[in-house]
Amino acid sequence: MTGAPDPLLGVLATLTLVLVAAHGLGALAARVGFAPVVGELLTGLVLGPAALGLLAPALTGLVVPIPAWLDVLASLGLVLLLLLAGTEVDVAALRRHASATAAVAAGGFVVPFVAGIGVTLLLPPDALPAGVSSLAVSLVVGTALAVSAVPVTIRVLVDLDALDRPVGQRTLAIAAVVDAVGWLVFSVVADAVRTGGVDALRVGRTLLVLAGFVLLAATVGRRVVDVLLERAARARSPALSQFSAVVLVGFATTAAGLAVAVEAVVGAFTAGVLAGRRLDEAAGRVLHVVALGLLAPLFFATAGLRVDVGTLLTPGAAGVAALLLVVAVASKAAGVALGGALAGLSRAEIACLAVGLNARGAMEIVIASLGLALGVLSPTLYAAIVVVAVATSVAMPPLLRRALVRLPADA
């Protein structure tokens, strides 16, 4: 007589399947010259019904439909991913190059944002979700096309030994500003969707809450984080103590933000920026390993599992994905070129920035996932945005390598 199977068995089997696939595809991507995150982005597609499901349906059954507990772990992976991204922001570099950073960030966000709104309004009705305001859909798509991918940017700059170069620091600083503005815009749009419409008073209240949240974090939160990390640095195991302190700060800040209707991504990113100034290098490595090695791949996998590959095989959906990809790449490059010209940057540096900021990666998938959860994106639009995220992330490393060669060593 056998008892009921231990629930832990299914959890461990699912985690093993997802992590083996994610790290295996990540290693394969790195071997052929792409950032490992590219392979991780493909994990969900490979494990889904259209790939592994044809060969081993029982294995695909472990992740489709997505178990609730896996969804929760994926959300924690998102929080840690944005926490990690925030710690990599060099606030001093932002201050030193404030005018050039602002000019390029403005062009790199506004132009693709407007282009995304425009192209969405031209899409056929069957590509849009039913019963949702076309303005809300276009604002979410515009935001998705406007953001850049700080984690992907960091990963690629490190791989190309360019993170410490001035152009690398500038690329990272601009990407951080663009993403911060993107989360701000998305927070306002999400609030409007939840409440059933755009109300000037409500938007003003949302912006006021966001401003108050950031101001409180930058004053009181900054002091609290400094005290915590300073005490953790004197502990018996400083790296682990600081890691624990940063994660707790990230969770607490994210929870506080959610309590006042601030998107989780804003809270997590803000916590990372606050902690990054005092975080010990060893503690940063621990955060990097836990975030990118354990939980972030779960987020990427669940994002891919939500993509209906069959939808993309239809001519209409493939056309939507191709159109969004062209608009995303062209508008981002045009916006960066415009901002760079106004800031007086050289053509070689503008080319590096245009390539480096064009990768959407995780950030675009985050917005797409949230938009799908809100009901603002149809499966077709969600799949098309994921295609844009993956394609731009795949193209970035080889193109940036070529652009950096043309850049003078001291630029």
| Residue 411 located in a structural domain | no
Residue 143 lies in a domain: yes
Determine whether 1 is exposed, middle or buried from the number of CB atoms within 10 Å of its CB (0-12, 13-18, 19+). exposed
Would you state the pLDDT for residue 411?
A: 52
Instruction: Give the count of beta carbons closer than 10 Å to the beta carbon of residue 2.
Output: 4
Give domain status of residue 145, yes or no: yes
Does 7 map to a domain? Answer: no
Distances (CA, A) of 296 to 71, 84, 186: 12, 10, 21
- 285-288 long-range contacts, Cβ below 8 Å, gap at least 24? 285/239, 286/239, 286/240, 286/243, 287/80, 287/83, 287/84, 287/87, 287/243, 287/246, 287/247, 288/84
Q: What is the pLDDT of residue 171?
A: 86
Q: Could you give the CA distance from residue 374 to residue 164 in angstroms, rounded to a whole number?
A: 39
Residue 343 within a domain: yes
Residue at 229 is within a domain: yes
Q: How do the pLDDT tens digits run along the chain, 411 residues long? A: 456 667 899 899 999 999 999 999 988 988 887 767 778 778 888 898 878 888 898 888 889 888 999 999 988 988 888 888 778 777 776 677 788 889 999 999 999 999 999 999 889 888 888 888 888 899 999 999 999 877 677 767 777 777 778 888 788 778 878 887 887 788 778 877 777 666 677 777 777 888 898 899 889 988 999 899 989 988 888 889 999 999 999 999 999 888 887 777 778 888 988 888 788 888 988 998 898 888 888 888 887 787 777 777 777 888 999 999 999 999 999 999 999 999 999 999 999 999 999 988 777 888 888 888 888 999 889 889 988 988 888 888 889 888 988 887 655
The pLDDT assigned to 278 comes to 81
Tell me, what's the pLDDT at 335?
A: 96
CATH of the domain at 395: 1.20.1530.20
The answer to the question of residue 67 being in a domain is: no
**pLDDT value at residue 199:** 66
Q: Is 411 exposed, middle or buried (0-12, 13-18, 19+ CB in 10 A)?
A: middle
Q: Which range of residues forms the domain containing residue 284?
A: 14-62+72-405
* Per-residue confidence (pLDDT) for residue 7, from 0 to 100: 80
Looking at residue 1, its pLDDT comes to: 46
Helix (H, G, I), strand (E, B) or coil at 306: coil
- In the chain, the number of structural domains is 1
The reported pLDDT for the residue numbered 409 is 63
Residue 377: name the closest of 81, 142, 104 by CA: 142
**The two three-digit tokens of residue 179, written as one number:** 């993403």
Q: What is the pTM of this model?
A: 0.76
Q: Is residue 1 part of a domain?
A: no
Written as one letter, the residue type at 141 is V
